[in-house]
Amino acid sequence: MSGVSAKLTTVKKGKKNSGGSTAVRTGSFRRSAVSSVLTVLTIIVVAAVIVGAVVIYHQRNAYTSANPAGPADSGVSASGPNADAPIPDITKALQGPASNGALGQLAGQVTDASTGKTLWEKNSSTAMVPASSTKMMTTAAALLTLGPKDRVRTVVKRGTKPGQIVLVGGGDVTLAASKDSAFYTNAPTIQDLASQVKKNMGGQPVTSVVVDNSRAGQGDTFNSTWSRGDISGGNVTSVDSVMLNGGRQDPSDADSPRTDNPALVAGQALANAVGLSSSSSDGGDGADNGGESGSSGDSGETDDESGNSGGGDDNSQGVSVSKKSVDTEDGELGAVESAPLDIRIHDMLVNSDNMEAEAIGREIAKKEGKPLTFEGATSATKEVLSQHGFPLESVVLKDNSGMSPDNRITPRLLDRIMVKATSPVTNEGDSGSSSADSQSHDLRPILDGLPVAGGNGTLAGRFTPGSSSGPGAGWVRAKTGTLDGVSALVGTVMNQQGRVLTFAFMSNGSDIEPARSALDDLASALRMSS
């Protein structure tokens, strides 16, 4: 079985930033883009199935394989998981690939999903720099504490001055100006908000817009371990309480440079949508009311102390940003909700979206009663996982996205998350369901979000036909991770006999491209194991 014989792929090379770190994205795509992009992706995945690559997905109780919709005479049949298949000899399968010097310092673990038995490990309890595989921790904690249907609300209220409206950020980074400019799936829009506002204003003109960014004002909004060069590099920006398209300047490009003042950009979009013009504004009268409602001091401006990177106009054409709570009248002029958490997680994992990960981290913090800060989010994430029995020994978490080079996570933990997401749920729906069954059910959405090898997201340009990792195309589903000297691959694969395996491989002290290829070889070796 040769994998995918023909495939359309888009590969975007990593960009070097001024701080020296590298973020690599391959095959990023806009899930909310025009239908032609989705059609191409569908062709890729269907083609993979037709030539024999099975995409494993979850249903209620266990895995099934996707039956191919291709021609009956394709000559290849897709078989599903087989829990009765012999357990493969993973030590033998990985003996060669794991000795590749390109892997630098290698740590990893492989587990049989059905039995939970560890089949192979190397330094699995050693905490390594995880890069974006950190998002597996964020995802698991969010699903366990928030649930898959959790949504985030963004509200507009009437201010205390005539014609003033207040955009109250609730932590949603997925908003778009309009549906046709949305990066994220089923994103709420400023256009929808503005329509509600204009209707409920009863014809009164809007004279100013204040963005209440107090949700983000509990601490620094730009992580001290990040490089500011990654703003223009398209990886991160300030974690404001409201932003458009994750702060991307160009929502058609997953790797677009980010704005350095996302809350202000959101406010300006609302101002434009409600018809606020410079002639009707007074220069932004939000500057003197942010100290009310239990706050003190000036708060109508966004300054560098709030964590924004500077360079943005904080008081533009009647639009201002407050890092303190803003007084408003009772009631709402308009409100929109984000997509459910499981959809946002899918976007985050497929595109390795850093800002979505940080926003979800703050949702976890809020649910757990922690400050809405980097420390609060990471602390809450670790506590949730610890409460659910995951091994947190030696884990250090400085952010929820994996952009911090100071993070340390063990392969044992990451593989354990995959085991729980993959394990069959035997008692679903029964009053006597075990806690293990409950965890597996709660973590199922992870499987839907993992990129498919050679098919989509950050794995679109990898596992190419004819390469040493080609056999894994369409069979491997995994979260990637890449920083300078760091590569990671965490996911699941079904071997040729139908045994479902989970794995976590981490490489530190290695060159990106060779290490990434070597990790792909490891995952493909699992596919070919017997």
Which two tokens mark 14?
A: 């990593």
Q: Which of 21, 28, 132, 181 is catalytic?
A: 132
Phi, psi of 280 (to 5 degrees): -95, -5
- How many H helices and E strands in the chain? 13, 17
Whether residue 130 contacts residue 506, with contact meaning beta carbons closer than 8 Å, is answered with yes
Q: Is 316 a catalytic residue?
A: no
Whether residue 275 contacts residue 205, with contact meaning beta carbons closer than 8 Å, is answered with yes
Alpha carbons 303 and 444: distance in angstroms, whole number: 41
32: left (phi over 0), alpha (psi -120 to 50) or beta: alpha
Phi, psi of 459 (to 5 degrees): -110, 10
> Buried b vs exposed e over 345-358: b needs ≥16 C-beta within 10 Å?
bbbbbbbbbbbbbb
**Count of alpha carbons within 13 Å of 339, Cβ hemisphere only?**
20
Residue closest to 251 by CA, chosen among 36, 30, 14: 30
Neighbours of 43 (CB within 10 A): 13
DSSP H or E run through 282: none
Q: Which of 7, 32, 124, 135 is catalytic?
A: 135
Whether residue 417 contacts residue 142, with contact meaning beta carbons closer than 8 Å, is answered with no
Q: What is the DSSP letter of 6?
A: S
Whether residue 194 contacts residue 287, with contact meaning beta carbons closer than 8 Å, is answered with no
CA angle 228, 320, 167 (to 5 degrees): 100
445: left (phi over 0), alpha (psi -120 to 50) or beta: alpha
Alpha carbons 260 and 258: distance in angstroms, whole number: 6
Q: Is 352 a catalytic residue?
A: yes
Whether residue 219 contacts residue 289, with contact meaning beta carbons closer than 8 Å, is answered with no
Amino acid occupying residue 124 = S
Residue closest to 347 by CA, chosen among 455, 237, 240, 254: 254
Neighbours of 282 (CB within 10 A): 11
Longest dimension (CA), the chain: 75
Q: Which of 238, 299, 352, 524 is catalytic?
A: 352
Q: Is 132 a catalytic residue?
A: yes
3-state DSSP: the chain helix, strand, coil percent, rounded to 5?
A: 35, 20, 50
Which two tokens mark 63?
A: 């895995």
Burial class (CB in 10 A: 0-12, 13-18, 19+), 511: middle
Residues annotated catalytic, as ranges: 132, 135, 352
